[in-house]
Amino acid sequence: MAMPSADSPEARATWLVLAADGPALEIGGVAPGTAHVRAVDDPTIFTALLASDRPRVAIVAQPPAGARDLAAVCAERRRRQGLRTIHLSPGSDVSARVAALRDGFDAALPQTVEAVELAARAALLDEQSRTRPASTLPIAQGFELDLVAHELRLDGRAVHLRPKEFQLLAMLAAHPGRAYSRRQLLDRVWGPDQVGDPRTVDVHIRWLRSKIEPAPGRPVHLVTVRGFGYRLDPR
């Protein structure tokens, strides 16, 4: 089965379905406009798309999914907090649905569930995946800053920051799109009594770019405002 190029964002699924038949294959026609649904019947292709497309919702029918495929979905769910998962199994297989919930699936339903209900449940989970706690700030694709845990996370995994890196990033993330001069950043992060070169800020910005930018030499999130300072553009 041919797959669209992962290089075109419009081709990427926001809802990814693994099913061979049944209502799961029909939800594309009743899903909200914010969802791009892609359905496959091959577990190998599904697992590859789960990693490349990074969908917000994964709907997995067993069969065709096997135990190894379910384990892969659960592992991805643990790695990526923004992923929501729905397990489908034959109507009589209650134990499979209970086991799926124990393993970490957000919902477990019989495969006979109506497409409209399945789409509604997926839409609710999708909405939850895009609702951030007030204690977290978006930084870049896959990155969020947790102000309570005092850490930067990439897809749920902690990324090491020095104390001043965290404070500098928190300052910029609290006001996305706002430009700050080097002097303002130095005063607010290091303190107004700090006696030092504003280029200290430049050094910390380089360190941060090496951690959050896809191409640190061509930053698209932590950008330079020429002749003034820096700003953070999370999106």
- What residue ranges do the domains of the chain occupy? 9-129, 136-232
Kindly compute the dihedral angle of the four CA atoms of residues 165, 171, 177, 179, in this order, to the nearest 10 degrees: -90
Instruction: Work out the mean pLDDT of the chain and round it to a whole number.
Output: 84
The CATH class of the 136-232 domain is mainly alpha
Query: Can you name the CATH fold of 9-129?
Result: Rossmann fold (3.40.50)
The pLDDT of residue 4: 41
Q: What is the pLDDT of residues 47-73, one digit of tens each?
A: 888 888 888 889 999 889 888 888 888
Asked if 121 contacts 86 with a C-beta cutoff of 8 angstroms, the reply is: yes
pLDDT confidence band for 9 (50 / 70 / 90): very low
pLDDT of residue 216: 92
pLDDT digits (tens, 9 = 90+) for 117-165: 998 988 888 887 666 556 788 898 888 898 888 889 888 788 999 999 9
- Could you give the CA distance from residue 16 to residue 57 in angstroms, rounded to a whole number? 6
Q: Kindly tell me the sign of the dihedral angle through the C-alpha atoms of 35, 80, 207, 196.
A: positive
